Amino acid sequence: MRALKAPPRGPITASVTAGQASFTQFGCAVCHVATITTAPAGTVINAGQFTVPTALGDKNIHPFGDFLLHDIGTGDGIVQNGGQGTRNQVRTAPLWGIGARTRFMHDGASVTVSDAIARHGGQASTARTNFNNGGATAQANVLAFIFSL
């Protein structure tokens, strides 16, 4: 699993490029971060269970997610691995490969990306409001961008 290739991106059209700009401007990229650099080779993680090999160390990856816990109002009271305070937090879903999925959010309860965006509240309220107020063209561009990932 660790060595699986990231899914290839779709065509980068003008709409996709504009959509990425709006995605960043709306604040989506605060959590759905474009680039993460993996830990250096030799780093020991998971309480000593795994040493990052050269092939995976110090690489720039583009998951469009920060893998961190956030409360965007979709939590279901299940405590995550950070104590009681995490009971309504969920990890940011990476958006890469999203075109291959048919159900969204941790509970699979959204069958469209638009619905998944509409469910963003809590810490993501401002970004959702910006998206909702962004106009039909920007919204369509953001969707084109997301489906290119």
Output 27 or 57, the one with its CB closest to ligand HEC: 27
Evaluate whether 94 touches 101 at the Cβ level (below 8 Å).
no
| 76/70 Cα distance (integer angstroms) | 13
Choice from 16, 19, 28, 96 touching ligand HEC (CB under 6 A): 28
Does 16 contact ligand HEC by CB under 6 A? no
Output 51 or 106, the one with its CB closest to ligand HEC: 106
Minimum CB separation from ligand HEC for residue 8, in Å? 17
Q: How many CB atoms lie within 10 A of CB 76?
A: 9
Q: Sketch the per residue contact string, 69 through 98, with ligand HEC: x for CB under 6 A, - otherwise.
A: -x-x-x---------------x-xx-x--x
| 98/129 Cα distance (integer angstroms) | 22
